[in-house]
Amino acid sequence: MKKPRKPREPKENASGDRWADYHRDMEMWEDAMKEWKKSQQPKGLGDTIEKITEATGIKKVVHKLFGEDCGCDERKAMVNKLFPYKHNWTVTEKQLVEWEHLKSSWPGPLTPQWRQRFFTLYNEVTSQKRQVSSCNGCIARMFNNLSTVLDK
């Protein structure tokens, strides 16, 4: 996504009201800038590694040696999935209610229904595709990860 350009100061239009269009354009530009800034935030470690390789010139060298399709994008996506940054998690009101309900029965007996609901919530919030597991250690780590974000 390209950075949006700020609108120029308006010239006189046919109706004589040059500022109405300008204010509308400025509001659209501000919305576009918010969206652009959000898209520029790294989603995970892969994005950070990419920025470092670009800044140091490593990416240019790799592209010259191996061509444009060197597998960098696939590796970046894989590393982002393995090591996502938590600030990209989005939470809805419905998910918070579900979290409170799941949290109220933690660490009681983890029924298959509880596990299914927990993994569904975890995958929605973190944009991951984890399979339901019976590993209590894995569930405890995931629970703590969600807790640090949702219990603010």
Contacts for 91 with CB less than 8 Å, ≥ 6 apart: 125, 149, 150
Distance CA 117, CA 58 (A): 44
Give the single-character DSSP code of 88.
G
> 120 falls in which pLDDT band (50, 70, 90)?
very high
pLDDT at 142 over 80: yes
> Which tens digits make up the pLDDT trace of 60-84?
888 888 888 888 888 888 888 888 7
CB contact at 8 A, 113 and 121: no
Could you give the angle at the alpha carbon of 87 between the alpha carbons of 84 and 89, nearest 5°? 75
pLDDT tens column, 96-119: 888 888 888 877 778 889 899 999
Count CA atoms within 13 Å of residue 42 on its CB side: 16
Highest mean pLDDT among 10-24, 27-41, 93-107: 93-107
pTM as predicted: 0.45
Within a 10 A sphere around the Cβ of 95, how many other Cβ atoms?
Answer: 17
What residues have CB less than 8 Å from 35, skipping those under 6 apart?
A: 1
